[in-house]
Amino acid sequence: MAYQLDTYLKDFTEYIENWGIVPFYAEMLSVFINGFIFILLLALLDKLLKRVIVEVFKVFSNKTKTSFDDFLILTNFPRYIAHIIPLAIFKWFFIQLLVDYQVTLYWLLKAFNIYVILLILKILRSLLRTSRDYFQTKKEFHDKPLQSYLQVTMLFLWGIGIFFFTLEIFDKNAMNFVLQLGAASAVILLIFKDTILGFVASIQVSINDIVRIGDWITFSKYGADGYVTEINLATVRVQNWDMTFTTIPTYSLISDSFQNWRGMQESGGRRIKRSIMIKQNSVKFLTSNELSELKKIQLVAPYIEHMEKEVIRSNRKHDVDDSLAINGLNQTNLGVFRKYIDAYLYEHPGINKDMFMMVRHLPPTSQGIPIEIFCFSSDKRWENYELIQADLFDHIIAAVPYFNLEIFEEPSSKDITSFLTQQQDYKS
């Protein structure tokens, strides 16, 4: 076939010479005309092949159950594949056409090789994007940073591509080029510092499973409080609760401290940890009449009856003088109230009984005695969690007066005005 092409080119050149053109110019004109016509035909062939291959892929994908081939079409994989045959013909033809023009052929083959490297990178990128889109449809990969994996891999492939581009353009030996590149590595590290940091951070975030797509994170340094929507090589994108978006540098996830709420979301409940402040001068020992009155509260009645027996037994054993409540063992309104809260938590339908639960005293402060409630709601959804917490403390605050206790509160202007009015009325 090469012989036939060579014969055709000679005949075509002789035909031009018959027009009265000098042989040298006739040969150049022959090369130009044949090259131009061939490029046009090759462009038509390339366009035809793209249409045929794409249609074949569509027919094939419609008959298969997997969606992988559908994503191949969307990422232009068939179009890139269609270039291979025209490129092979292009190289074969121009090697024959420019056999006597070695300098032109040399630069043309360089451009051809660079384009082939670029095409290979595009094909690989198409396969990677297809894999990303396909795996994102799978439930087990839904929360994985696939975009970050893609960018890391493409960065590596582009690095290899640039390496071969350089070798091709400057006719460098691979080993010598690597040695020269090593000498310039300090400059390269300085220029691509952020990219390298992002690259390393993306690997650590992925391997250590620090953050997943869909995680709720709080990052006060960047004002982020919401769900992670995207993780890539350079940034992590967070959609905040006010529907705004915050972009966080990926390397900040390993260099700074932030809060990931995934553990709470995967656990059996969401923590409730809140205190109410009880006035210290409202705490007292309970009399028999007050205990009888508190027994009407069903949740705490068994505890009071049990403690009454324990008080009598202990005081008799130690021959306690019960004329004063401070002597021996006696119940206090704050202690009974604390046991009431404990019993109420066990009865509340919104509290997870299988998780840690505690009602405790914290050290007294100038504002009173903090009674802290520590438990977990059974519903982790934010709006329901807030409703459970509000319902719980609505009841506890309303229950305080039943135990002859008072909640500390800073005096308001109305309280001060009322006090001054009372003082004036008293004096008058």
Question: DSSP string spanning 347-382?
Answer: H-TTB-TTS--EEEEPPPBTTBEEEEEEEEES--SH
Statement to judge: residues 211 and 237 lie in one domain:
yes
> Domain for residue 286, yes or no?
yes
The model's pTM is: 0.57
User: pLDDT digit string (tens) for 220-258?
Assistant: 899 999 999 988 777 889 999 899 999 998 888 888 889
pLDDT of res. 73? 80
Query: Cα 329 to chain center, whole Å?
Result: 57
How far apart, in whole angstroms, are the C-alpha atoms of residue 108 and residue 91?
Answer: 9
Phi, psi of 272 (to 5 degrees): -115, 120
> Domain for residue 98, yes or no?
yes
How far apart, in whole angstroms, are the C-alpha atoms of residue 114 and residue 165?
Answer: 6
pLDDT of res. 2? 46
The CATH number given to whatever domain includes residue 158 is: 2.30.30.60
> Domain for residue 151, yes or no?
yes
Statement to judge: residues 255 and 277 lie in one domain:
no
Single out the residue of 305, 303, 333, 302 nearest to residue 402, CA to CA. 333
Name the β-bridge partners of 239. 227, 245
Statement to judge: residues 59 and 77 lie in one domain:
yes
> Domain for residue 347, yes or no?
yes
pLDDT of res. 187? 61
> Domain for residue 419, yes or no?
no
Statement to judge: residues 391 and 289 lie in one domain:
yes
pLDDT of res. 25? 61
Residue 322: CB atoms within 10 A of its CB come to 13
Statement to judge: residues 244 and 298 lie in one domain:
no
Statement to judge: residues 316 and 375 lie in one domain:
yes
Geometric angle at alpha carbon 249, from 248 and 254, rounded to 5°? 105
pLDDT of res. 76? 83
* Identity of residue 256: D
Asked if 245 contacts 239 with a C-beta cutoff of 8 angstroms, the reply is yes
How far apart, in whole angstroms, are the C-alpha atoms of residue 323 and residue 342?
Answer: 31
> Domain for residue 328, yes or no?
yes
Which sign, positive or negative, has the C-alpha torsion 165, 169, 171, 176? negative
* Identity of residue 322: D
Q: Which two tokens stand for residue 211?
A: 């953050």
How big is the chain by its Cα radius of gyration, in Å? 41
Asked if 219 contacts 238 with a C-beta cutoff of 8 angstroms, the reply is yes
Statement to judge: residues 162 and 220 lie in one domain:
yes
For the chain, residues with pLDDT lower than 50 are: 2-3
Statement to judge: residues 236 and 173 lie in one domain:
yes
> Domain for residue 425, yes or no?
no
Task: Please list, in sequence order, all residues whose beta carbon lies within 8 angstroms of the beta carbon of residue 383, skipping any fewer than 6 positions away.
Answer: none
The last residue of a domain, from among 139, 169, 193? 139
How far apart, in whole angstroms, are the C-alpha atoms of residue 9 and residue 1?
Answer: 12
pLDDT of res. 212? 85
Statement to judge: residues 178 and 104 lie in one domain:
no
3-state secondary structure at position 271: strand
Which sign, positive or negative, has the C-alpha torsion 348, 354, 355, 359? positive
pLDDT of res. 149? 73
First to last CA, the chain: 127
How far apart, in whole angstroms, are the C-alpha atoms of residue 99 and residue 356?
Answer: 85
Please state the domain count of the chain: 3
Statement to judge: residues 20 and 105 lie in one domain:
yes
The last residue of a domain, from among 117, 139, 161? 139
Phi, psi of 236 (to 5 degrees): -120, 130
Statement to judge: residues 204 and 309 lie in one domain:
no
How far apart, in whole angstroms, are the C-alpha atoms of residue 327 and residue 339?
Answer: 22
Q: Range of 385's domain?
A: 270-413
The last residue of a domain, from among 90, 124, 139? 139
> Domain for residue 337, yes or no?
yes
Statement to judge: residues 301 and 389 lie in one domain:
yes
* Identity of residue 86: P
Residue 412: CB atoms within 10 A of its CB come to 9
User: pLDDT digit string (tens) for 46-89?
Assistant: 888 888 888 888 887 777 777 777 788 888 888 888 888 888 88
